[in-house]
Structure formats: structure tokens, C-alpha cells
């Protein structure tokens, strides 16, 4: 059974027609970077640095860590953060926050924001940007952010997920490969990197979590492909804000260096 910590004073059930709640999924084990959520960034765990950024958003009704780890949960609580303890069986962060949303009793039309726990430098404004399509259009089930790549090394690096979109701003595909391929050398080559920040309507989030894993999701290791494979649209918003995703110890050092310049 899931345990909801520090949530009694902010139980998200009221007469308000719609809540906007942010969850930060974090799991105990990472094959690429063990112990990543608790990595120190100038005196605080990385997961806490992400929470601090999210709490600066003025549009949110709540911010929670969703984790399968007692250690991560206790670390978040030690800094006064709210947390939900979830099952260890979830295959993705989206599945984890779907459980957390159920445990907190969110309504179907509430908006759930998913901010990855390895983006301690994301800008709070990015939350406003990612929820905008869902606020404007009730037919959109899910949205996410992309950023025009300016660092050449990210064009070919598999940790920088590339994205292609249609003429209406909906995702066509996400890949760790370099897409699109420019056969015609006269075309200006532009690439977009996916930021792991999503917004969902809670009723769609619960459907998403019940869908079987797709072939491309398993192949690329990208959970958002599950939605595309099952015929759901993902609205894409281009942000002018970049954010370092900590996938390696080298990324962590870049983040620490950046934080050092900010304090």
C-alpha cells in the first residue's frame, strides 16, 4: 500500500474545478548513475534542488516527490518537502506519478505536471509553458517541451533525445538517434532536444499507465513513445529555456559548477 507523507494539510480535494499538481518521480536505482537523486549539490540532494525550483512556480497547487525509496522520501522530508511512497514495480516515471495522483485523490480534469528528478536547473517558467496547451484546449491530453539544440555534442549524443513535430505542433517521434536526417545539404539543419517535463490531464494519465508497453518505447527506452504508439497526440511547446539533465557524473559536475556561480 502506498504511503502519502506530509500531505494532510494539502489534501487536493476541494470545490475548485481544476488543480495543477507537480510530481517529481525518483527511483532508488539507476543503471546509468546509481544514487543520482541524492547526489549532493552544494549542501542539498539533487531531488531537493528540483523541488525548490518547482515550488517557485505560482501556478501549482502542490509539489510532491513520488518515489519507491524510503531513503529518498526521508531525505525530501528532512528538507520540509512532501512525498508519496509508491510501488517498486513501476516501469517508468509516468506510471509512478499516476499512482501518486490516485493516492492523493486528484480529479479526472486536474492537470498533472511531471518534472524529472534529474533537472535541478530547470526554470519554473517552463511549468507555465508546458501546461498552457492543456489550459487552452480541453481536447489535448498531454504536452511536453522541446528546445532548439545549440550545443553540437547534443546532436549525436543518445542522452539528448531528439524530437520531430508536425505542422500543428504535435510530436511525430522522439529518438535517441539524430533525427531528422538531412539528405539535402542545402537545407538548414535544425534539431530539437526533448526536455523531460510533461503535463497530462489526470484522466488521460490513468489511461496511459494502463496501456501495454510499446515496441518503440522498449527499443528507445522512452516512455512518451507509448502514447504515440497507441494513437494519442502529444502537444509540443518550444521553450527558449535550456536545462541540464543529469545522466552522468560529468553532467553533475556541470550542474555543481553552475550552482557555484549562482550562490
73 exposure class (CB count in 10 Å sphere: 0-12, 13-18, 19+): buried
* 4 domain residue, yes or no: no
Could you tell me if residue 237 is inside a domain? yes
Rg (C-alpha) for the chain, rounded Å, is 18
Q: What's the grid cell of residue 178?
A: 539524430
Residue 10 clears pLDDT 80, i.e. is over it:
no
Which is it for strands 162-165 and 171-175: parallel, antiparallel or unpaired?
A: antiparallel
* 45 CB-near residues (< 8 Å, 6+ apart): 37, 38, 39, 75, 76, 79
CATH code where residue 55 lies = 3.90.550.10
Domain that holds residue 239: 17-262
Helix (H) or strand (E) holding 237: strand 235-238
**8 belongs to a structural domain:** no
On average, the pLDDT of the chain sits at 90
| Number of domains making up the chain | 1
Kindly report, residue by residue over 19-70, the tens digit of the pLDDT. 999 999 998 776 667 788 999 999 999 999 999 999 999 999 999 999 999 9
**Stated pTM of the model:** 0.89
Amino acid at each position: 500500500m502506498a504511503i502519502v507523507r506530509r500531505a494532510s494539510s494539502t489534501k487536493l480535494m476541494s470545490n475548485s474545478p481544476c488543480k495543477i499538481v507537480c510530481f517529481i518521480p525518483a527511483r532508488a536505482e539507476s543503471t546509468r548513475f546509481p544514487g543520482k537523486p541524492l547526489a549532493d549539490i552544494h549542501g542539498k540532494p539533487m531531488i531537493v534542488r528540483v523541488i525548490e525550483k518547482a515550488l517557485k512556480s505560482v501556478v501549482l497547487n502542490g509539489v510532491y516527490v513520488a518515489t519507491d525509496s524510503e531513503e529518498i522520501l526521508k531525505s525530501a522530508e528532512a528538507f520540509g518537502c512532501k512525498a508519496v511512497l509508491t510501488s517498486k514495480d513501476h516501469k517508468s516515471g509516468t506510471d509512478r506519478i499516476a499512482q501518486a495522483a490516485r493516492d492523493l485523490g486528484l480529479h479526472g480534469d486536474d492537470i498533472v505536471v511531471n518534472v524529472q528528478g534529474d533537472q535541478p536547473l530547470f526554470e519554473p517558467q517552463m511549468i507555465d509553458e508546458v501546461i498552457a496547451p492543456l489550459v487552452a484546449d480541453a481536447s489535448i491530453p498531454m504536452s511536453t517541451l522541446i528546445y532548439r539544440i545549440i550545443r553540437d555534442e547534443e546532436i549525436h549524443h543518445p542522452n539528448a533525445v531528439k524530437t520531430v513535430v508536425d505542422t500543428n505542433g504535435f510530436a511525430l517521434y522522439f529518438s535517441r538517434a539524430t533525427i531528422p536526417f538531412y539528405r539535402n545539404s542545402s537545407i538548414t539543419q535544425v534539431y530539437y532536444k526533448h526536455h523531460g517535463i510533461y503535463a497530462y490531464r489526470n484522466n488521460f494519465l490513468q489511461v496511459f499507465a494502463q496501456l501495454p508497453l510499446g515496441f518503440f518505447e522498449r527499443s528507445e527506452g522512452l516512455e512518451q513513445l507509448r502514447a504515440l504508439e497507441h494513437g494519442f497526440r502529444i502537444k509540443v511547446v518550444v521553450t527558449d529555456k535550456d536545462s541540464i539533465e543529469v545522466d552522468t557524473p560529468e553532467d553533475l559536475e556541470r550542474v555543481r559548477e553552475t550552482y557555484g556561480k549562482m550562490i
